[in-house]
Amino acid sequence: EGALYALPLTQLSPESQELAKTLANLPKEPAPKPVVGKDEPQEWEDANGKAIRARFIKLEGETLTIEMNGQNFDLPLARLSPDSQALARQLAGNVKPSPDKTPQEKPVDEKITKAMENGPPDQAEITLALNQAVEYFRTLGAKDEEGLFYPPIRKRKVIGHVDKTVTYRKIVVQIPVFEWTTTTKEVIRNVKVGDSGAVTVKKKMKVKVPVRVRGKQTGTRPQNRLVRDSNGTIERIHKIPKYGPG
Q: What is the CATH number of the domain that holds 83?
A: 2.30.30
228 or 122, which is more confident: 228
Give the number of other Cβ atoms within 10 Å of residue 246's Cβ. 9
**Mean pLDDT, residues 140-152 taken together:** 71
Q: In sequence order, what are the residues at sequence separation of 6 or more whose Cβ sits closer than 8 angstroms to the Cβ of residue 56?
A: 38, 42, 64, 66, 67, 88, 91, 92
Look at residue 78 and tell me if it is in a domain. yes
Question: Above 90 in pLDDT, residue 238?
Answer: yes
To the nearest whole percent, how much of the chain has pLDDT over 70? 74
With the CA atoms of 37, 33, 82 and 95 taken in that order, what torsion angle do they form, in degrees rounded to the nearest 10? -20
Q: Give the Cα separation of 88 and 76 in Å (integer).
A: 11
Is the CA virtual torsion 127, 133, 139, 143 positive or negative?
A: negative
Whether residues 162 and 227 fall in one domain: yes
Q: What is the 3-state secondary structure (H, E, C) of 122-190?
A: CHHHHHHHHHHHHHHHHHHHHHCCCCCCCCHHHHCCEEEEEEEEEEEEEEEEEEEEEEEEEEEEEEEEE
Which residues are CB-neighbours of 24 under 8 A, at least 6 positions away?
Answer: none
* Highest mean pLDDT: which range of 13-27, 137-151, 231-245: 231-245
- For residue 5, being part of any structural domain is answered with no
The answer to whether residues 244 and 174 belong to one domain is yes
Based on the domain organization, do 89 and 162 belong to the same domain? no
Question: 130: exposed, middle or buried (C-beta count within 10 Å: 0-12, 13-18, 19+)?
Answer: exposed
49/84 Cα distance (integer angstroms): 11
**What's 203's DSSP letter?**
E
How much is the pLDDT for 155? Answer: 65
> In this prediction, what percent of the chain has a pLDDT beyond 90?
20
- pLDDT recorded at residue 191: 72
Q: Is residue 211 part of a domain?
A: no
pLDDT at position 148: 72
Count how many domains the chain has: 2
**pLDDT exceeds cutoff 70 at 2:** no
Asked whether residue 163 falls in the same domain as residue 246, the answer is yes
Q: What is the pLDDT of residue 223?
A: 94
User: What percent of the residues of the chain are helix, what percent strand, and what percent coil, each to the nearest 5?
Assistant: 25, 40, 30
Same domain, 160 and 242: yes
* Across 53-70, average pLDDT: 85
Q: Is residue 26 part of a domain?
A: no
What pLDDT, on a 0 to 100 scale, did the predictor assign at position 175? Answer: 92
54 within 8 A of 67, measured Cβ to Cβ: yes
| 168 and 243 fall within a common domain | yes
The predicted structure's pLDDT at residue 205: 76
In a domain, 242, yes or no: yes
**Structural domain that includes position 76:** 41-97+105-119
Mean pLDDT of 83-99: 74
- pLDDT tens-digit readout, 191-236: 777 665 656 667 777 888 888 999 999 999 999 999 999 999 999 9
Do residues 231 and 163 both lie within one domain?
Answer: yes
Decide if 206 is inside a domain: no
Q: Tell me, yes or no, whether 90 and 164 share the same domain.
A: no
Q: What is the pLDDT of residue 235?
A: 94
Q: Does 216 fall in a domain? A: no
Average pLDDT value for residue range 8-20:
77
User: Quick one: which H or E segment has residue 84?
Assistant: helix 82-94
**Residues 162 and 225 placed together within one structural domain of the fold:** yes
Residues 43-52 have a mean pLDDT of: 84
Is 65 within a domain? Answer: yes
